[in-house]
Amino acid sequence: MPNTGPRMMKSKVKLYIYDIGTGTGDWASDFAEQHPEAKVIGTDVSPIQTELMVANTEFLFEDCLEFWSFSPVSVEYIHMSWLFGSIDDWCALYKQAFACLKPGGYLESHEASPLIRLKGCDSEVSSASAIHQWGNLFVEAGRRSQRSFTVVEDGLQAKAMKEAGFVDIQDETLENPIGTWPQESEKRLIGQYSKLAMEEDLQGTINYVAHSVGWSWEETLVLSSQVRNELQCPENKPYFLQRIVWGRKPSDSV
């Protein structure tokens, strides 16, 4: 996924950066490497972070839905990405970020849509197709668990940031290709990575939500192989939406 963090922070002064739900910690490590003047702290509930840590990174076991252990007004920049399906209250999450940020500091949130679209023929994504079913499965799982997967479709990031008190809220929506169908070389590369990431564990991804919609292992096996086939189909030009939203804590707030 695109690493857009550095464009937000050009200062050379000592910076404190938090990456909430850091996953493997790749983003935190890349940012720390590019910004030796910064201290980057990643948090997660899964201990899957890289052991090859960059010196100015630190990883903490912390649930972002609970009270954050960071001091108020302690950080210049907070980054979060791909937390859709894990968050029950986006405003409460962003309010915690607001409290930790120094006045003038930024929150940047990247979220993706689980709906796979086909370039040039969105209206023709048949409801019988596996690709369509895939998206529906996540939408339904999010509805049942009250942890929405339709963060992008519902514009939740901007709404919740505004409600949490952020100002100068801006956004950018990317169409991330899946596969090597784009002509442009950078998009082709992104598509190659997206497809590889999806195919790596299609069934595991479905299994992540299968229990909440009552699907059997066999059903997930069938859907994952059908999705795999549809992704290979040369006429299909699949992509998904990713939205980046960033906002500033007002300079006169504490």
Ligand X SMILES: C[S@@+](CC[C@H](N)C(=O)[O-])C[C@H]1O[C@@H](n2cnc3c(N)ncnc32)[C@H](O)[C@@H]1O
Evaluate the CA torsion angle 112, 70, 23, 57 in order and state its sign: positive
Binder among 11, 46, 170, 232 for ligand X (CB under 6 A): 46
Evaluate the CA torsion angle 134, 27, 165, 61 in order and state its sign: positive
Q: Does 253 bind ligand X (CB under 6 A)?
A: no
Q: Are 86 and 158 in contact (CB under 8 A)?
A: no
- State the residue number with the nearest CB to ligand X: 23
Q: Does 82 bind ligand X (CB under 6 A)?
A: yes
Q: Does 65 bind ligand X (CB under 6 A)?
A: yes
Residue 237, both tokens = 């030009």
Stretch that binds ligand X, among 61-69, 123-131, 179-187, 221-229 (CB under 6 A): 61-69
Q: Does 4 bind ligand X (CB under 6 A)?
A: no
Helix (H) or strand (E) holding 17: strand 15-20
C-alpha to C-alpha distance for 158 and 143, rounded to whole angstroms: 20
Q: Which is nearer to ligand X, 1 or 158 (CB)?
A: 1
Q: How far is the CB of 74 from ligand X (least distance, A)?
A: 18
Q: Does 169 bind ligand X (CB under 6 A)?
A: no
Q: Does 97 bind ligand X (CB under 6 A)?
A: no
C-alpha to C-alpha distance for 5 and 192, rounded to whole angstroms: 22
> Measured in whole angstroms, how far is the alpha carbon of residue 225 from the centre of its chain?
25
Binder among 3, 34, 50, 86 for ligand X (CB under 6 A): 86
Q: Which conformational region is residue 180 in: left (phi greater than 0), alpha (psi within -120 to 50 degrees), or beta?
A: alpha
Q: Does 57 bind ligand X (CB under 6 A)?
A: no
Q: Which is nearer to ligand X, 21 or 135 (CB)?
A: 21
Q: Does 193 bind ligand X (CB under 6 A)?
A: no
First to last CA, the chain: 33
Q: How far is the CB of 22 from ligand X (least distance, A)?
A: 6
Residue 13, both tokens = 């002064």
Stretch that binds ligand X, among 58-66, 135-143, 203-211, 225-233 (CB under 6 A): 58-66
C-alpha to C-alpha distance for 208 and 211, rounded to whole angstroms: 7
Binding site for ligand X (CB under 6 A): 21-23, 27, 43-46, 63-65, 81-83, 86
